[in-house]
Structure 1
Amino acid sequence: MIAWQNQTAARLHNGLLWALGALCGIALTATLARIFAPEAWLWGAILCAAMAARLLRGAAAKTSTITPPASSKSNLATTQDLKSAFDNREIRPHFQPQVSLSDGRITGMEALARWHHPSQGMVPPLAFLSSVAQAQLWHKLTDTILHDSLSAMRDLEDAGIFVPQVGVNFAQSDLEHPQLVTRILWALDQFDLQPNRLSVEVLESVVVQDAQSPVRHAVNSLAKLGCHIDLDDFGTAQNPFDSLRQLHIDRMKIDRSFVFNIDKDPKKQDMLAAVVLMAQRLNLDTIAEGIETDAERRVVQKLGCGHAQGYGIGRPMPLDQLQNWALQYQQAPHPHTSPAKLA
């Protein structure tokens, strides 16, 4: 596995300098072809690219071995496999909690798709989401996760646990669907939930489009209905400020690349402080993704970030485990100071 990153500056015609970066992940098929299926190669390349983006720290290249998940040793899921998985409720959400950094309250949760395969066990998203797209079942996936997430909100309330909102990820194809708003309203009505209980999570790279695009129209329509709009992976698109200017955004989800090892990186601290200040000026809330250590949590809390999400708070978990986690978390004397101990 090879991770490569290059960064240089280009001078534009007006004399301005723009820093341009490129990264590449390569999984060597010579060592994988006899052992792993094609999706393992893709998995390795994606992992490499992530390494280049987050771990190289100025180095030109890095090589290492990879260990694909056990599920990637099988063939790509067929359309029939996926249809059966949906029919049998094998694909369902796990929930990752989000907490306030000011008082420790549970302020939300993000729904993340997982496949509970009857013979392969837990299949990670990278091993089946591309197959879902190829089988043209993405809308089925979104409707399944949306339905189960809103149902989970009701179940949590019945258990005496109030979670203000659940975040559901919507892909570009979802946002371009002409019946999206109707589908969401129907689902909310089915569980007697107000629109403000749903957080529509959209990738920054998806919404940075023409102002008249169906995506922007859908996002703004959902915002007018009262749904919360979370701009996911903020800081990764080419022009993040355009989306803030033209969309009804409620909260910026700060990409984990800003957070990783932030306690050891003063430049990252300065960058995050600037992002938080900008959000405050725009009356936007903020949530830091990828919190893994208590040191990272303390730094983002000190810099004024509003909420936190990550393995250091709680891993994605099925609903029954989330209920147990939430009950323990709420009973802790100072939950906002030591959430990692309960994960």
Structure 2
Amino acid sequence: MRILHTYCLNYNIGDYALGIGVKNLLRKYLDVTLIGNTNLQGREFNSYYIKEVVNKRYDLLVIGGGGIIHGSHWPNGWFWLIEKDLIKEIKIPFIVYGVGYNYWKEEGGIPERGIIHLEETMKHASYFSVRNDGSQLRLGEQFGRTVPAIPDPGFHVDINTQYQRKEEAPYVLIQLANDKPERRFGSIEKRDSFIRQMREVTEYLAKRYKVIFSPHVPEDISISQEVAAGISNTEVWDFGYFAFDHSDEAVGYYKFAEFVLAMRGHGQIVPIAFNTPVISLENHPKHRGLMENLGLIDYNVSLNQESFKEELKEKIQALEANYFDLKHKYEVINQGLRSETEKAWTEICQQIKR
């Protein structure tokens, strides 16, 4: 089977990680001849591309995962650049796999044109699903119906894929987000307060671990450097090296970390896939949604709470005190995620062979 995979390329290490997971699943469940890639962020699925590339050269189109149900400024209210009336011109099966509803509450949700476009997509897709971070509920509130929620493909970065340990010392990974700061922090003052508090937490951790900061997008570099500045036993990884042809090496850092503090969805998801404990630094509904879904809400801290620093330190202490029990809990969680994914692919294989 010749497969065209379209997802978000050339911007976010987390998207590359989920891309690894998607391809691992495709090779596990399908007879793959080749997997081609195209960037969902910018690729226009016009009539020529559909007719001469998609329909002629491939047997299956896979869209996602990633937080692609987002962006009221996008022509269709989400990332897929295809005219609504052209969707039916795709003659091969296509699936939308484990995508995220990424609108902040303050944005007011999907615009009407986006709802219309998504409904047309669902009508023609062989399979349409969202990821297990509360996207099902948030999407359902706008559509009035439920679509399947499945484990994010980033949970499957470990399938038949080997990663090397790059850092010998015991280390903690801190993954901070700095794009859309007005949404993540609320104001410049709150961002500055967050940095001050994270510096204290970093100093606290650096006494016992090496602390490695892991920016996922270019905007994350500056905040990581601000927090790490002048604190011994810390480093900010070389984003330019990882971005993006060495993203698999970045994923490996999550596997061998003692634990992770994460501000992004895939900063949560990837370590969980490796049974690496994570504390979620909640700044979007999806962060809490994922931790609730997995029964890990005790290890979620909202950036908005007044006692953020104190609460985070308490969570770190609880994580360390329950470390091995927590890793066992992650093993059970991952067994469940694999089972859910197996069920999804049983249905997908039935649908695309019709």
TM interval, short-chain normalised: 0.3 to 0.5
Relative contact order (alpha carbons < 8 A, sep ≥ 6): 1 or 2 greater? 2
TM-score, normalised to structure 2's length?
Answer: 0.32
